[in-house]
Each structure stands twice: as C-alpha cells, then as structure tokens.
Amino acid sequence: MDQQAQVKGLPSNAYRPLKEGEVYMPVVPENAPLPEATVYSVLWGLFYAVIFSAAAAYLGLKIGQVFEAAIPIAILAVGFSTLMKRKNSLSENVIVQSIGASSGVIVAGAIFTIPGLYILGISANFWQVFLSSLFGGFLGILFLVPFRRYFVKDMHGEFPFPEATATTEVLVAGESGGNQAKILLKALVIGGTYDFLVSGLGLWKEVVSSHVFSWGRQLIESTRLEFRMNIGAAVMGLGYIVGLKYALIIASGSFLAWWVIMPAMYYIGQFNPAPILNAAKPIAQMMPTEIFSTYIRHIGIGGIAAAGLIGIIKSYKIIVGAFKLAIAEITGKTHSGVDNYKPERTQLDIKMKWLTVLIISSLLGIFVFFLLLVVHGNWLYAITGLAIVTVIAFLFTTVAARAIAIVGTNPVSGMTLMTLIISSVILVAIGLKGNDGMLAALIIGGVVCTALSMAGGFITDLKIGYWLGTTPRTQQRWKFLGTLVAAMSVGAVIFMLNQTYGFGANAGPNAMEAPQASAMAAVLQPLMTGQPAPWLLYIAGVILAVILEFIGIPPLAFALGMYLPIHLNTPILFGGIIAYLVQKSSKDEKISSARKDRGTLIASGFIAGGAIMGVVAAAIVYLGQGITGSSSWNMMVGIGTQHWVESAGAEYLGFLMFIVILGYMYWDSKRVKHLDR
C-alpha cells in the first residue's frame, strides 16, 4: 500500500494536552516508517546548510538579526520533492530540514561573538572561528539529548512551539503539492533583486534619514533627534514574520533611546565642555550615532543582561527537573523508574553510553583547542575556560530550549553577555587580561553562544520529528554533519566579509554593523583592559528591564531595540504593520489566516533572497578587489554610481522604493480570494 496516501494531516490531539489514557499517534506510524536518512535527504540538507549559513551570516552581521532557516528550507524541500515526483518523502524532508537548519543556529553563535575580535583589533583566524562554532554546536546537541523526552513528549501540548508548529504544517501540507515553494521562490527572486540593486549597485540609498529634509536637519542640529531607516526587503520581511506585537516592542526600545533619552542627554550634556565617561569628545560635538554608540547602547546592554538573568530565575524549576531527568537517563532509568526501558522507534535517542563518550570527547577537544589556539599552552587558562564553557552551557541549555518552546525566541544574546561578564571576572582573577584575555573570553563566549543557539534550534527539529513520526536518533546523528558543514561555511563567510568590508563603526563607511558583536566587545573591553566600565549605564538598563518585567512587557525585546541602531528597527516595525493589515484584511478569519500565511512565505523569500544576494555582492566585491588591487573597489565604483548613491535624489528614491516594496507585500499577500477545498 502506498504510504503517501496515508499522510492526511496531524492528529486532532497534536497541539493539546493528552487526556488520561490518551496516546498521541504520529503522522508516520510507529510500525511503518518512511525513508529518513537517504542520499537524497542528506545531500539536500547539506546543500541548504551551506547556502543558508552564508545568507544568515551576511544578514546577521548587517542588521544583528538572524532569520530562522527552518521554514524556508522546509518549503523548498517539499517543493522540490514534489517537482521531482518523489514518493514517501515526508520523513526525508524532515531530515533535509533538520540538517539544513543547522545553518541559522551556528551562524547566531558565531556572528554574535567572533566579529568582536576584529572590532577590538584582535586577529582571529579561520580555525578559531570554525572550531568554536563546531564544538559549541556539538555541545548544544549533546547536552540537549537527555532533555528531549521532557520537552518533546512528557510536556505534550503544554508548550506551543510556534516555529515547530509552522514548519510541521508546511511539511504536511507539502505532501499535496509544491505551490508554496513557487510563491517562496518568486519572492526570493524579487527580494533578492531589490536588495542587490540597492546594496550592490547603489541605484538608490539603502539607509534613508530625515537629514535629507530641511526640517530634519534643523531637528538634528538643535535636538539631535533623527529618523533613520534601512529600506531593504530582507529587513522588512523579517518584521513581517516577527509580527506587530514584538515589532512594536523592539521599535519602542529604539524610540525611547533615540527620541527621548538622546535629546535629553544632548540637552544636558551640551553645557559640559569636557568628554564624559572616557568619550573621545564632548557631547556637544557628537552627532546622534556617536551619542548612541558611546552612551545609550550601554543601557540596552544592561537591559539584555538583566533580561537573560530574569529568564534563568523564572526557569529554575524546569532546570532542576530536567537535570533530574538527565540523571535518570544516565543511570538507565526513565522518569517512571523502570529499569532497562526500551523505547519505541519514535522515542529512540542516541544511547547514553555513546552520548557520554561523545560529551567527554567534545570536552577534551575543547580543552586542546583552548590550549593550542587560544591561551598559548597555559594549562590553567585552558582548564578554566573549559570549566566555564561546560557549566554555563549545560545550565543554560534548558533555558534556551524552554524559551524556543514557549515563544519561539531564544534569548541567547543576553545569556552570552552574562557569560562574557562571568568569564572576564574569572579570567582577570587568574591573571589573563588585555588582548589575550579578550581573545579567550570571546572564544569562550562563542562556544557557549553556539551551544545555546543549537540547543534552542534543535529542540524545534526534534518536536517536528515527534509530531510527524521521525526517529529522533536519526535526527541526532545527522545533525552533527550539518553542524560540521555549517561551521565551515560560517568561518569562510566571516573571513571573507571581514576582508571585504570589516566590522564595526570604526572599520569604515561600508563596514558591516555586526551590532551584537559590537555590544559584546563594548562590554568586554573595559573589563579586560582595566578601564572604568560604564556601570551606571548598565545599572540603568538593569533597572529598566526589571520594571518592564513587572509591568508585563518582554524586557529582552525592548532592550534589543535600545541597543540596535534605529535604522534596523524601523523597517521591522513597518513589516509588522503590513502583517497586521494583511491579517485584518478580511472578515472571514480563514481567508485572513490564509493571506497571513501567504505573506509569511513572501517574507521568507524576501529574507532569503536579500541575504543570499548580499553574499553574492560581497563575493563580487572580494574578487573585484583582488583583480583591481584596490581595497576600496566595489560594484558602485565599477558602474559609476558611488556618487549618486550619496545624493539627495538617491535618498528620496529610497523612500519611494520602500513604499513600493511595502505595497507589493500587502498586495501579493491579499491575492488569496477564497480557500481551495
């Protein structure tokens, strides 16, 4: 019997808690598995891991946000399997998605930390980037496996798993056709072309500002109040997926920072002729971006660190419970106390003895990595670094998994900031400071950040597999290969982008923002060099985060808005507004939901297309500089638009083109007129 005909959708009890005695039956039956890890699924998974690693790294370094690759990869997987008329491909597509999704989580761990080395003027080679990403990814997988049963099976229906839900629905729906892939591919071409024309060829300005208007210049000169916006399709698409609620919270953090705190700080500080808090010049001589990076961003950093700590405190019971479960698994008992328990196929994990061997091997590998490539043969420093990584990565693994399970967002940046602060205090105490200390701390932070990012992302993969009936052991085994390929890709992209553009505000006008890594570097430098840190600003952020938590506003999202530049958050808000308007575009809730889902596909295409073309543009510049021998060559120089792109006309056109892309997003999303039965 053709098993593909049996795939009709998720059971009715997939998303709700099970009643007493009720059992969840996955889409693929326990006793009738479909092909999973095949040559087809593994090769396509690795292909997507490479492509989306490069795309996500570019976007994350540019705007500080890493898009989740799971949904676009799932859509592409079902689309191509349908076009190729491949039967019984549901479980294969789960493996494709699981391997390919290694890209986004590995990217987040690497780009949030490693570029901080370049920003601080410290050289980092490919092997340091690659191995920190590789070992961090391995630890994230290994530390999560003992907790899989708790999060995925025991808490069935208790956690919403928003991203896993969306991806699962795509995979199931994809069995009936590849129309979703066509929508995504069209949007990928449109979004990629749009972003290439602006960021690659400079046909209109990428970041527009109120400075282009006379009234805007007067406001900036008198109050330092400025409106700035990136008009890229990828950033706007990200806002659509984030949704209006969180887009508003993030943007509100920016508005408070740029339109309230900054004018107030300038109004008071302009009367002080001397620099404040080790600044290079007085506030009266600073422009908005300088005031933001010198002072206000530190408030956001304090808020992020506090938000991460709040999350850990709130998750205390979950951490303790998951730790007990891990002990039970290691001793060969389940949570019910049954010895020698033999799980069903859909509950098979890597055997605990092999898991223990792999954990020990990974920790030994991290020790050797630290000893040889980070701390130059000092055993005390290497052992200390290993201890920090092991303890923090293990304790925070469940926090990352729980955050993804509940809201689909991993507060990895806040937890990594805490890791850097803890690492810096410990390393300085044992005598490791200065540039060597900053190198060690950021590498430690990179390993931990990647581990937590992987843990959060992998719990999504495992939940998808649980709903659909994929063998978790198969997902776990092949995730290691996806991690290896993604880590290599990220290392190569970071090296290339640094050689082409550089990172941070001091690397030149075309430098990548790398906002997360810039924040990490800003926290780390004073701790490691003996300079007075802006503790008052950090404390202000901590107090703000506590207040936000008490009044029910997610402090992490708000704090992120405060320390990301405003031009990266305003397009996210506009994308969220489009998502809201699309969802409210029909009185028929089912049609509105279908339109919103179509918009999600279009937004995913914009994100993937814009990011991929960004990498293509960077590769062209990299090769062009090698051919011409000029470090300042880019495509705008090649076609002669380098002066036009800085003109007022290009900026006016940028405003207009952003309105056009917003209008297209709304129009195309609303093309759903009825529901096909």
Both 49 and 123 in one domain: the answer is yes
Provide the pLDDT for residue 408.
55
pLDDT band at 4 (very low <50, low <70, confident <90, very high): very low
Same domain for 478 and 512?
Answer: yes
CA distances from 433 to 293, 301, 426, 528 (A): 24, 22, 10, 5
Are 216 and 267 in the same domain? Answer: yes
Least confident of 237-246, 288-297, 362-371, 525-534: 525-534
Residue bearing the bigger pLDDT, 344 or 566: 566
**Do 332 and 445 share a domain, yes or no?**
yes
Task: Identify the residue with better confidence: 546 or 246.
Answer: 546
3-state SS assignment for residue 662? helix
Question: What pLDDT does residue 676 have?
Answer: 53
* Per-residue pLDDT tens over the stretch 406-451: 655 565 766 777 788 888 889 988 988 888 888 899 999 899 989 9
- Clarify whether residues 548 and 486 are in a common domain: no
pLDDT of residue 257: 92
40 vs 506 pLDDT, higher one: 40
Residue 665 has pLDDT above 80, yes or no: yes
Position 494 pLDDT exceeds 80: yes
Question: What interhelical angle do 179-195 and 233-242 show, nearest 10?
Answer: 130
Buried b (16+ CB within 10 A) or exposed e, 147-182: bbbbbbbeebeebebebbbbbbbbbbbbbeebebbe
Taking all residues of the chain, what is their mean pLDDT, rounded to a whole number? 82
Cα separation, 493 vs 471, in Å, equals: 33
By the 8 A CB rule, do 557 and 249 touch?
A: yes
CA angle 320, 323, 329 (to 5 degrees): 145
Q: Which amino acid is at 389?
A: V
Task: Give the pLDDT mean for 356-364.
Answer: 92
Which of 475, 503, 526 corresponds to the end of one domain?
Answer: 526
Is the same domain home to 447 and 563? no
Largest CA distance in the chain: 83
Q: How far is it, in rounded angstroms, from Cα 102 to Cα 106?
A: 6
pLDDT digits (tens, 9 = 90+) for 176-222: 555 666 787 788 889 889 988 988 888 988 889 998 888 988 888 88
Contacts of 539 (CB under 8 A, 6+ apart): 302
Q: Per-residue pLDDT averaged across 495-516, rounded?
A: 72
Confidence of residue 544 (pLDDT cuts 50, 70, 90): very high
Structural domain boundaries, residue 373? 35-175+315-526
Helix (H) or strand (E) holding 146, with range, is none
Q: Residue 3's pLDDT is what? A: 44
If pLDDT is split at 50, 70 and 90, which confidence band does 302 have? Answer: confident
**What digits encode the pLDDT tens for the residues 316-357?**
776 676 566 556 665 655 544 444 555 678 888 888 778 888
44 and 66 co-located in one domain: yes
Distance CA 251, CA 259 (A): 11
Q: Does residue 289 form part of some domain?
A: yes
Q: How confident is the model at residue 260 (pLDDT cuts 50, 70, 90)?
A: very high
Residue 28's pLDDT is what?
82
User: Strand, helix or coil at 339?
Assistant: strand
119 and 56 assigned to the same domain:
yes
User: How many CA atoms does the CB half-sphere of 187 hold within 13 Å?
Assistant: 32
Query: Which residues, 6+ apart, have CB-to-CB distance to 171 below 8 Å?
Result: 74, 77, 78, 90, 93, 94, 97, 464, 468
> Are 520 and 557 members of one domain?
no
d(CA 525, CA 505): 15
For 112-157, write each residue's pLDDT tens digit: 888 888 888 887 788 888 999 999 999 999 998 888 888 888 777 7
CA–CA gap between residue 525 and residue 519 (Å, rounded): 10
Mean pLDDT for 474-503 is 87
Where a domain ends, among 526, 554, 589?
A: 526
* Cβ neighbour number for residue 588 with a 10 Å cutoff: 12
> Is the pLDDT score of 364 beyond 90?
yes
In this structure, how many other beta carbons lie within 10 angstroms of the beta carbon of residue 210?
A: 16
Residue 565: per-residue pLDDT: 83
What's the rounded mean pLDDT across residues 92-107? 89
Q: What is the mean pLDDT of residues 531-541?
A: 82
Whether 464 and 542 share a structural domain: no
Phi first, then psi: give them for residue 208, nearest 5 degrees.
-100, 155
What's the rounded mean pLDDT across residues 14-39?
81
Question: What average pLDDT score do residues 8-36 get?
Answer: 78
Most confidently modeled of 214-228, 394-408, 583-597? Answer: 214-228
What is d(CA 70, CA 48) in angstroms, rounded to the nearest whole number? 10
510 with 408, same domain: the answer is yes
442, 582: one domain:
no
Domain count, the chain: 2
Q: What is the structure's pLDDT at 58?
A: 77
Share of the chain above pLDDT 70, in %: 86
Q: What is the pLDDT of residue 505?
A: 61
Q: What is the share, in percent, of the chain residues with pLDDT greater than 90?
A: 22
